[in-house]
Amino acid sequence: MDVQIVLGSISDKEIAKKAVDVLKEFGVEYDVTVASAHRTPERVENVIKEAHEKGAKVFIAIAGLAAHLPGVVASKTVKPVIGVPVDSNLDGIDALLSIAQMPSGIPVACVGIGRGDNAALLACEIIATKDETIQEKLRKYRGRMAEKIEHDANALGL
**Tens of pLDDT along 82-122?**
999 999 889 999 999 999 999 999 999 999 999 999 999 99
Taking the C-alpha atoms of residue 64 and residue 113, their distance in angstroms, rounded to an integer, is: 9
CB 82 within 8 A of CB 119: yes
Taking the C-alpha atoms of residue 139 and residue 146, their distance in angstroms, rounded to an integer, is: 11
**Total-model pTM:** 0.96
**Strand arrangement, sheet containing 81-86:** 30-34, 3-7, 58-64, 81-86, 109-110
Class level of CATH domain 3-131: alpha beta
**Tens of pLDDT along 63-79?**
999 899 999 999 999 99
Write down how long the chain is: 158
Which of 3, 4, 37, 14 is CA-nearest to residue 86?
14
User: Coil, strand or helix: which one is 99?
Assistant: helix
